[in-house]
Amino acid sequence: MALRNITIRGDEILTKKCKTIKAITPRICELAADMGETMLAADGVGIAAPQVGVMKRMFLAMPHVDAEDEETRNKIYVMINPEITYREGTQESSEGCLSVPGYMGLVDRPEKIRIKGTDLDGIEHEYEFEGFEATVFCHEYDHLDGILYPDIAKEMMTAEEYAKRLEEAKAEHAGEAAAAQE
């Protein structure tokens, strides 16, 4: 396994549609291992092949960051040639990206999705996700079609502006809770 360089916004590889993977070869398995190592080293919850300079329809996602049990929390899904087969509802998500460092954006995403894809053993799986997990899978899926979240965000801000906004919202919520107890 090896750490790979993360492609940054402005590189045209991030704007292109990726090619279907025809066979799961040792090189594809090595790519998946490298992507996992790179994602974890960068403290990400997902990474797509074009983010490491490879134009293949594959991403990894680790969306259960708040799960109570360690096995679920650390589960990494490998999605080869994924396809979102169902979308339901709308949610506003706050998103960042390893390829867009220092920024956050507000994006409307489906509340619930169904997605199918092949794993490294050649077995096709279908999963249903909602909330944050659905956002992670949609975000990574978009990378395979050359879409970065700033392309579809309804608002962009620096990470510092976002942190300040969170602090203000937290303080406002604490004030409302205190007033309700009086």
SS3 1: coil
Q: Which two tokens stand for residue 152?
A: 């579809």
pTM: 0.91
Active-site residue, 140 included: yes
Please tell me the distance from the alpha carbon of residue 92 to that of residue 151, in angstroms, as a whole number: 15
74-130 pLDDT, tens digit per residue, is 899 999 999 999 999 999 999 999 999 999 999 999 999 999 999 999 999 999 999
Please tell me the distance from the alpha carbon of residue 132 to that of residue 65, in angstroms, as a whole number: 10
Of the candidates 37, 95, 140, 176, the residue annotated as catalytic is 140
In the chain, the domains with their CATH numbers are 12-181 (3.90.45.10)
119-166 pLDDT, tens digit per residue, is 999 999 999 999 999 999 999 999 999 999 999 999 999 999 999 988
Q: How confident is the model at residue 24 (pLDDT cuts 50, 70, 90)?
A: very high
